[in-house]
Structure 1
Amino acid sequence: MTETELPEAQSRAIAQAVREALARRRISRQALADEARISISTLEKALSGRRPFTLATTIRLEEALGQRLREAAERAAPTLAAPRHAPEELGSYSRESAAWLEGRYLTLRPSFGAAGALFAYRTEIAWDAEAARLVFREAERLDAPFAQTGHVSVPNQSGTIYLVTNWQGQYRIAMLGRPTIQGEMYGVLTTLHAGRGSQLTPAASPIALIPERSAPSVAYGRITPDLPDYAACRRQLGRVCEDSYALFFTCPS
């Protein structure tokens, strides 16, 4: 089976067709996942839009449901021309005005699980013509199930760039200053940190996005102080505070 990811518009249409099939047949998502021989996590993420359907997953679902999901997606394809500007709530930007943000970035933040270590992964920003907005996708994360996807907000007043994930009302936001002349973006990440058991705690950390063309040659994953990449990555991440791209206020004593 190929792992080719389907286009976002087609993936959304397939998700709708699967939800309708579940409701019509009165079967659970777990039962469908078992019948299709896929994990419930894969099905949930694809249905919620956190991850696109792959061709392999779609074929297995078609076999389990006994219907052609891709045909439903083709029928649902829009006939009107796609809008040229992002929605007002994202800044009403056009692709031309925000094209400089598109590309692949080495992303750095402190490791949440190892004191003193850094966490490196890739963030890809691209234009979604169907939805008329920039979208982002994280990859090469050690904790792959927690990789984020979402949309990009570029308001024209503050100059701040927002990478926003909204999963069932649960938000995760990276707030970044406008790129430097080299294209780097620095700012603060607000997210939830997994604690003991199922406990989730609000957390914030510095974050840096460095264009891959000018980024240090780094192996993605956890970067500890004993590795040769650590010093260069630590300098990049240190710019968040040293150059006042973000402010961190401590709790009152």
Structure 2
Amino acid sequence: MKATVSRSARESAVAQIKTAMIEKKLTQAELADASDCHEKTIQNLLGGRSVRDQTLFDVCMVLGLDFDKLKGAWTGANASVAAPPELHGENGGVVAPLYMGAYTRGAVDHYIGSYLTLRSSFSRPGCIVAYRTDVTWDPDWPSLLFQERDRLDAPYSHRGRLYVPASSMFIHLVSLTKGAMRMIVVSQVDRFGEMRGIITTIHKHGAVLVPVATPIVYAKCEEFDGNLGDITSAHPHYARYKKMLEDTMGDGYAKLIEP
């Protein structure tokens, strides 16, 4: 009886992975490359065969799936998986952990929504990269969760959590995969639904990876048609997007200091 339950649960987990692959238009080889594992490992995963937790975690990060939920489905242990007691607090699971700012859902509801995300291209001078970022509330691990979508380089889309210090004008969007951290520091969302700041990450430059930083803007948006992708000077929104990034520096939301 136990084996039947496990098999059924694992089939459900595999179905979630396959659906996410279809949504992101990823092949097995592309998923293996983005997850930094062998294609045979992905074949084992999709076949419902045992894989390491690290592999499952890396795949979840690439596909934007919740690792704890998927692992619970994979092992048939969802019924016993629960958030640590300290996360529930007095408000029944609506208080983020202390290290994330101990914010309540009611205090950050205005962050929830979809944002047009703008930053300069790391490799193409004069080009602006535009994609969508969704911010939601995760009730299982009480905190704000962000997920990047509609990036041209979809396998490298990030998923992480928002850290909201109580005594700061800025918040942090942090993603962490296999020890590699990317952090975005932006102003708290204003009455126009905008957040501005700076992104620091690693970029492949020739044969090596180098740290990079550039201004970034989040602007709440409901319609994204024609607004995403690589925005060059020929695009009708280029001048407006360029000004938003320039104003981020000019208005003091971020500063790049050269030697």
Q: Does 1:122 align with 2:132?
A: yes
* Structure 1 runs, 4 residues or longer, greater than 6 Å off: none
Which residue number in structure 2 is paired with residue 203 of structure 1? 212
1:196 Cα shift? 1.9
AA aligned to 1:101 is Y
Which residue number in structure 1 is paired with residue 191 of structure 2? 181
1:190 Cα shift? 0.6
Equivalent position SS for 2:247 = helix
Which residue number in structure 1 is paired with residue 105 of structure 2? 95
Q: Does 1:222 align with 2:230?
A: yes
Q: Does 1:235 align with 2:235?
A: no
Scaled by the length of structure 2, the TM-score of the pair is 0.72
Which residue number in structure 1 is paired with residue 27 of structure 2? none
AA aligned to 2:124 is A
Gaps of at least 5 residues in structure 1 are: 6-27, 59-67
The change in CA–CA distance for 1:33 and 1:106 in structure 2 (over 3 A counts) is same
Structure 1 residues 164-173 or 45-54, which shifts more? 45-54
* CA displacement, residues 191-215 of structure 1 (integer Å, 9 cap, x when unaligned): 1111223x211110000001004x8
CA distance in 2: counterparts of 1:156 and 1:78, whole angstroms? 23
Equivalent position SS for 1:203 = strand
Structure 1 residues 131-140 or 75-84, which shifts more? 75-84
Equivalent position SS for 2:147 = strand
1:247 Cα shift? 1.1
CA distance in 1: counterparts of 2:238 and 2:123, whole angstroms? 16
Equivalent position SS for 1:35 = helix
1:100 Cα shift? 0.7
Equivalent position SS for 2:77 = helix
Within 5 Å, which residues of 2 pair with 1:96-111? 96-111=106-121
Q: Does 1:158 align with 2:168?
A: yes
Within 5 Å, which residues of 2 pair with 1:135-174? 135-174=145-184
1:33 Cα shift? 2.0
1:35 Cα shift? 3.4
CA distance in 2: counterparts of 1:245 and 1:36, whole angstroms? 44
The change in CA–CA distance for 1:35 and 1:140 in structure 2 (over 3 A counts) is same
* CA displacement, residues 11-40 of structure 1 (integer Å, 9 cap, x when unaligned): xxxxxxxxxxxxxxxxx97544223558xx
Equivalent position SS for 1:206 = strand
Scaled by the length of structure 1, the TM-score of the pair is 0.74
Equivalent position SS for 2:122 = coil
Identity of aligned residues (%): 29
CA distance in 2: counterparts of 1:125 and 1:85, whole angstroms? 16
Structure 1 residues 173-182 or 70-79, which shifts more? 70-79
1:78 Cα shift? 6.1
Q: CA RMSD in A?
A: 2.9
The change in CA–CA distance for 1:202 and 1:246 in structure 2 (over 3 A counts) is same
Which residue number in structure 1 is paired with residue 23 of structure 2? none
Partner residue of 1:72 out of 71, 77, 92:
77
Is residue 216–residue 233 contact of structure 1 (8 Å, CA) maintained in 2?
A: no
AA aligned to 1:239 is D
AA aligned to 2:202 is L
* CA displacement, residues 3-62 of structure 1 (integer Å, 9 cap, x when unaligned): 556xxxxxxxxxxxxxxxxxxxxxx97544223558xxxx977423413459xxx8xxxx
Equivalent position SS for 2:241 = helix
1:223 Cα shift? 0.3
1:77 Cα shift? 5.1
Is residue 94–residue 105 contact of structure 2 (8 Å, CA) maintained in 1?
A: yes
Is residue 169–residue 188 contact of structure 2 (8 Å, CA) maintained in 1?
A: yes
1:237 Cα shift? 1.5
Equivalent position SS for 1:204 = strand
Is residue 125–residue 135 contact of structure 1 (8 Å, CA) maintained in 2?
A: yes
CA distance in 2: counterparts of 1:53 and 1:83, whole angstroms? 20
Q: Does 1:193 align with 2:198?
A: no
Is residue 95–residue 102 contact of structure 2 (8 Å, CA) maintained in 1?
A: yes
Is residue 46–residue 52 contact of structure 1 (8 Å, CA) maintained in 2?
A: no
